[in-house]
A and B are shown apart, each in its own frame.
Chain A
Amino acid sequence: MNFNPGDIVNFSVMVAPILFLLAVGLMLMLMDVLKAHSSMPLIAGLGLIGAGVLAVLPEKISSMQAFYGMIEVGNIAPLNIVFLCLSGVFTIFFLPDYLKRQDKPIYEVYTLLIFAIIGMIMMANASDLLITFIGLETFSIALYVFAALFKKEETSNEAGLKYFLLGAFASAFLLLGISLLYGLTGYTNLNDIAANASKLTDNPALFFTSIGLFIIGFLFKVSAFPFHNWTPDVYSGTPTPLAGFMATGSKMAAFIALGTVLIKLNFTQYDKLVNVLALAAILSMIYGNVVAVRQKNLKRLLAYSSIAHTGYVLLGLCAGKAGFVAVIFYMFIYTIMNIGAFGLVGIAERTLADTDMDKWKGLGIKAPYFAAAMSLFLFSMAGIPPFAGFMSKYQVFIAAIGSGQILLAVIGILTSVIAAFYYIYLIVIMYFGKNESPEVSPRFDWTTGLGVGLLAVLILLLGIFPSLVLQPLLQYMSGSISAVAAAF
């Protein structure tokens, strides 16, 4: 092989943020052992913002490869790096206060968060299936540690063990799928596989087995219906702000990676694959929303609602290339409102020492700002118009209808009605519930307040001007025909 150092490290938009984040992560490790704990959240947050800036700094990149084509900067890459970094930044707003009030000074969180985001960036932009797998494992291991972070607590241990064992199974499925794809074509590189698509279709049984196993691995990570069972237990045992990160950042990365692979393989031409995804979408939407109605524990409620939201995103994914922008947009909006909601539940968990819904009675009067912010996030998740959640739902439904999946869109809209019931029920409890026993009201320090304020403003802003995010997304995706473009 003709060796040229420039081929290995192509300091393009792709590699610079990863290397920068790696340096930040190493620095955080040193700060941890040198007892410079107080500035770790700040450094981690600034590092993530810096990586995001490094990603969008180059003007317009059509397509570029690094590490012998193992990582590819496709059209959407700079923005998905920014979104993944932002999900980390939002989480960091809630972490210091939460850990302090839980009296658990665990500072590895910030280091692990950075390394998890490196893994997510790698996975989301991989053009080689092995890099997809390595990226997935990199962030999964960080997430297993997050789940078992409070190592002296039983719920946290349970969450960690469940997530680890089931995650290991899912990784095995994914890897078997990758190895069968390799066996069929002789390549692990996605572009090579796509170029040899005829070899795939020569043996349809093996092809659908391999891609099916591959999809199963990802459906587990995004907790879609048949592989959702771990979600409520794990989220309720995980430290709350980190559960928010788990439900958003990792799912966003998994959806982008899955979407990239499927679109490169041009999956919409195989009806079976689309049907499998559509079935998972329908069942996730119905199951998540129906079961969430009966939940009294807020973390479990948010977990079931996250299963339902996965269904909506899968609905966009079924639309193929045209729905991909809608998928990323939906995940970004969901990241904002879900990290906000989990963060607020975390605050209540500390001060009311409970995530039980009944304890939230009368919070609307006692803690007006808290209740207002929570209502805003809940309205947005329910998809009520002035908030961003409406715009994101609208985009995926439009994408689904545009690709002829009318039935899917109808089921999606019907299940949103069920979802609106339990989201608004919580608001009713906060504002109209009678509280007999006097309780302390939720308190939070300025970082958390700043985070909540920022997320709330973003939800309102993107609800009224969704083009602030959609426009750049479409520009970066330019060249692809999008149903979203037709809507504006």
Chain B
Amino acid sequence: MTNVIEAEQRSFMTGNEVVAWAALAAGAEFMYGYPITPQNEIMHYWTRLAPKFKRGFLQTEDELSAGFATLGGVMAGRKSFCATAGPGNVLMQEPISMAEMMRIPAVWFIQQRGGPSTATVIYSQQETRLTCLGGNGEGNRLVYSTASHQEVFDYAIKAFNNAWNYRFPTFVLGDGYQAKMREAVTLYDPAQRGIELHGTSRMLGRSSKQLDGQQVRHYRNTFNIEEELYETLMQHIADWDHMAEEVVEWAWEGDEEPDLLLVAHGVVSRAVYAAYEHLKSAGYNVAYFRPITLRPFPVAALQRAAGRCRQLLVAESAYGQLLSLVRDSLYGKTCAPIEGLLRPGLGITEELVVEWAQRLLARVG
């Protein structure tokens, strides 16, 4: 395979483009997709670049088929990925459920838009719950929530590696704002930074070289007996718990006994971090926490961060999806009030966070 990126380059581009380049650099061989705003440019760029690097693409008839075709590609031993948004993400829950049950390492890039239903095409953080816990299972998934183009590039490479290593459906959760915003990013060949790309294996189909002595493999995701399901699922959960210890990521800064702990994920964390710095330099006693893996959620780390805080403010462009995860993590661990700055489908600015924070900080006095 020709080197996708010959030498590190600092480039100015949009988030969707970064996804296409990152997937190429991570060794993805196939993309299956379907048009839906705001992720179409991933396909537009992949289809332009794919032939140059001998990668494949198919625009299928809908998101269901795009997702299931991705599973098929992965099972046949090729790194495959899919991208979608909004109502497309809702449809993807079917193939994702199969990936969870059958431990198929497919990768998805999600560019959140306003919901529910068709709603807006621009932006939101309203697919947090869906991407982490959608489907009719226990959410055995790995979900990264990025906040910059560099992270999209870096975590895309991680996503493919961790998917094929731990064998759970893996997600890079972005949003329409990140998809369209323009900023500089360093594109690099993972090998040049000492990052080894994880190998693939085939679940289905064999090359002619493998015929001797190879067992035929039968896969199913149905179970006749509840106990069998229970045992299988508990094994998956044990594997997931093991993965969780190794992949969980977060960012935490500030005082260990803050008057206010600010919590946000994804692109909102940029505004919240800016607000944190502003408040800190204004002399307030504040701290900042950002989950980078939403699933597994950095429960222990948040418990430490919130252990001795007076109150929390959770900011998100959704109506409580991050807030629920925070409350769930801190249940029984804190009596501090947890307030939500909840703006479903709307952007959140540094100014707004500062305004809310100052109001809450005044309460503490």
Say whether A associates with B.
no
